[in-house]
Amino acid sequence: MLDLVLRGVSARVIRELTLTVPSSTHTMVSGPPGCGASTLLKLVAGELKPERGEIIIGSRAVNRIPLKRRPLLYIDGLDVPGRWSTGHALVAAVARRSLDREDRHHEYTIAAERWRLGALIDRKVATLSSSERTRLLLARIELLRPAILVADRLLEGANPSERYTLADDFYRLLRVMGTTVITAPSTIEELAFADRVAILDRGRLLQHGSAETIFHSPADAAAAAATGDTNIIPIFIRGNRVESVIGEWEMADPPFEGSGIALIRPDAFHVATSGEESDLIYGIEEAAFRNGAWFTSGVLSGGVVLRVVLPRSLSLHKGKLLPLRYDSREIRLVKKDVAQPGGIPTDVVPPLRDSR
């Protein structure tokens, strides 16, 4: 299989980007809206030409090679005529490979069964639902068996209730096939299926690593938001003390001096038990129950919104006050010029003598 390498590539929003996708691995490209993920995929596929830099597949620079001649499959939706039947779309995919008739029929049958297309074989593509079209697209990719797959929001049309299962089955299959994959995810949950995640921000590579590493140690707010919901809290560091609207804490070796932001996940808080000191008193403004837990939000001093995930066993309502604790070691501090937080109000956070 083939490595994919970008060296100092610039085009449109992309700026001096260098990235390596090793053969038979999967890299997902993500970031805030307008980060340049779709542009990057179009550059790799050959739909756009770089202004500077090189795109290398294997040992060959492909800057001047058009899309149709590149050894890859670029997916930006289901590209078959609506008048075709589902069966026709599958046959057209497997017919592009050098297989005898018996092998083509065998693989056709396996793909149709794997993606639950048996009942749709005679249906026209134009009559399929978005979720059925997604399953047909996955089946066609399986039958085409690309050496490199470049795909933009591949599972966007899938039914939310089956999207995770489809992603699990599909990306496992690509690993078995040994395909080199670079994609932009449809949802944050898809990041869990990638070997590496490349976070872009305004066309520049902000962070590159495993989804787990970026989740726990984001380089900036953009990386934190790209890997899940996070609270962004203004802070100010004086000496070895961190000041914020959720309280103060000391650090033996602060990463910087002055203003910045604290990144803390909503599930990093827990309700203080009876007799346990709290770090802040949290007033609930909104609460919604999903995925077996309460997702709540409240407004702190200076208009800072705090989001907290709470256990389903709690009885919650608007205005309810809860004593919360957190572990400051789980908070990521990033230097950034922000307004210095004002005094800590005692109606939101307990007096400092009662806090850690």
Whether residue 39 has pLDDT greater than 70: yes
8 Å CB contact between 306 and 297: yes
- Which whole-number Å values give the CA distances from 219 to 15, 34, 91, 245, in the listed order? 18, 18, 46, 22
The strand pairing partners of 67, in sequence order, are none
Mean pLDDT of the chain: 92
Tokens of 261: 């932001």
Give the pLDDT score at 340. Answer: 56
Whether residue 347 has pLDDT greater than 90: no
Interatomic CA distance for residues 86 and 128, integer angstroms: 9
Give Cβ neighbours of residue 19 (< 8 Å, ≥ 6 apart). 5, 6, 27, 198, 205, 208
Give the pLDDT score at 118. Answer: 96
Give the pLDDT score at 339. Answer: 64
Give the pLDDT score at 226. Answer: 94
Other beta carbons less than 10 A from residue 138's beta carbon = 23
Q: For 268-323, how does the pLDDT look when each residue is reduced to its tens digit (9 = 90+)?
A: 999 999 889 999 999 999 999 988 999 999 999 888 999 999 999 999 999 999 99
Closest CA to 262 of 215, 224, 212, 214: 224
Give the pLDDT score at 288. Answer: 94
8 Å CB contact between 30 and 199: yes
Q: Which domains does the chain have, with CATH numbers?
A: 4-213 (3.40.50.300), 230-354 (2.40.50.100)
